[in-house]
Amino acid sequence: MTIQMTKTSIMRWHEMLETRDMSILNELLGDDVVFRSPVAYSPYSGKQVVFFILSNVIQVFENFTYHREFLSEDGANIVLEFSANIGDKKLKGIDMIQFNEHGKIVDFEVMIRPKSGLEALAELMGKRMQSMK
């Protein structure tokens, strides 16, 4: 795993958010990726379900902006700090992303505050998750 490979994947991630080209997300996710939601006790596993979750979250967030990023020394992990709105609720959070040796996302964990923003996200995503079942 090279730091450059992670940086290339992160550049593609930012490009996906700017262009809304979800084929980039499909390219970035590893087949066995795990998503750890701030509202669900158990993680979600597998490329198809994680693709569904992330592509829907991108649609739900308004005024989404990344502020800072922190890369681990080994280059396998990055933390991205963000802010967004859901209606009149403001939230801040971090995406903690782990990459494999091929630059694919294998673990994606999200933490969000404050509780009011998290609850607004949980309500909207809960409705969308029902449509997946």
Tracing tokens 């693709």 back to the chain, one arrives at 51
Q: Are 27 and 47 in contact (CB under 8 A)?
A: no
Per-residue pLDDT of the chain (133 residues; tens, 9 = 90+): 578 899 999 999 999 999 999 999 999 999 999 999 998 889 999 999 999 999 999 888 999 999 999 999 999 999 999 999 999 999 999 999 999 999 999 999 999 999 988 898 888 888 878 876 6
Q: How many CA atoms lie within 13 A of 3 on its CB side?
A: 6
- Domains of the chain (ranges; CATH) run 3-132 (3.10.450.50)
* pTM over 0.95, yes/no: no
Q: Are 109 and 96 in contact (CB under 8 A)?
A: yes
Q: Are 38 and 111 in contact (CB under 8 A)?
A: yes
